[in-house]
Each structure stands twice: as structure tokens, then as C-alpha cells.
Copies of this chain bind each other. A is one copy, B any other.
Amino acid sequence: MAFPLPDPMRRALALAREAAVAGEVPVGAVIVRDGEVVAEARNDMRSGNDPSAHAEMLAIRRAAEHLGAGGRLDSCDLWVTLEPCAMCAGAIALARIRRLYFGAPDPKGGAVIHGPRLFSQPTCHHRPEIYGGLGESESAVLLRRFFTDRRE
């Protein structure tokens, strides 16, 4: 019997589905503090002509704007459907996110458990607690379907 997915990851997956409908690579992210959602976002690179508009980046910027406090998100947890890339992992460290929960691993673009493994670098100044694999299969199905549909 599978455990039910935590609410923030279910919401992140819903946001990823919204991204796919909009023609964006399906990735969604949610930032939670004290059990409350403080920001959420989906990929928005295409429509915004912004290569940095990954779900995690947008969620971090929105949370920091919402919470103020110099942009530090020390008491915040980030839930995202795909392993963050180097840009997003760098932003997670800069924002001092407390915990990172991610869904599917990303062997090509991931920078947490793949590639540069940013949080394991000696110069990394902040390492969140990291939990991978929550909602992995749901996220992977969304991504696979998106790229298959586009090749047809």
C-alpha cells in the first residue's frame, strides 16, 4: 500500500500539470512555512521569455517578497516535482531554505544528487535537509508524457 502524498507535493504536481497545459515543461513548486503555503509557482520560461523562470526560482522570489526579512527563507521548506538544476539549487542555498523535498530525479539537469551535487561542495555555504523521491512516479509520468506528446 502506498502512503498518500503530502499536500504540498500534491499541490506541486497540480502546478506541474498546469505548466504542461500551458506548453511549459511540467514542473511545479510550493514553499511552506509553519504548515502554510507562502508561495507557489510553475515553470514559466516560454511565455515569459525568461530562461530563469523555473518553478523553484519563481516560488523563492515570491516567498521572499511576501515574507520580507531580507529575503532569507530560513524557516521555509521547498517542495518541487523535479530535482533542482544548478541555478535553482544555488538559489535555494542563497535563500537558506530549511528543507528541500523533490519528486523525480533528473540525471541530465539535476544538481542535487547528480552533476555538480551543489550542496555537497565544500564551498556551499548552506545545505538544506534533502528528501528526494516523494511523488517521483507521478512527476516522471507528467514529464515523459509532455516530451512524448511534443515529439509526435
Q: How many copies does the complex hold?
A: 2
**Please, which residues of chain B bring their CB within 8 A of the CB of A65?**
48-50
Binds B, one of A4-12, A116-124, A129-137: A116-124
For A86, give its contact among B46, B61, B86 (CB under 8 Å): B86
**Does B111 contact A115, Cβ atoms closer than 8 Å?**
no
Q: Which of B49, B61, B116 contacts A50 (CB 8 A)?
A: B61
Contacts of A85 in B (CB 8 A): 90, 94
Q: Is the CB of A122 within 8 A of B115?
A: yes
Cα A46 to Cα B72 in complex, Å, equals 10
- Give the residues in chain B near A73, CB-CB below 8 Å: 51
Residue contact B116 to A86, C-beta cutoff 8 Å:
yes
Residues of B within 8 A of A87 (CB): 86-91, 93-94
Flag whether A45 is at the interface (Cβ < 8 A).
Answer: yes
Chain A, interface SS category: loop
Instruction: Knowing A116-B118, A121-B115, say if A68 contacts B86 (CB, 8 Å).
Output: no
Q: List 11 A-B contacts (CB under 8 A).
A: A48-B65, A50-B61, A51-B60, A52-B60, A52-B64, A86-B90, A86-B111, A87-B90, A107-B123, A109-B125, A115-B122
Q: Which A positions have Cβ atoms within 8 angstroms of B?
A: 45-46, 48-53, 57, 60-61, 64-65, 67-73, 85-91, 93-96, 107-111, 114-118, 121-125
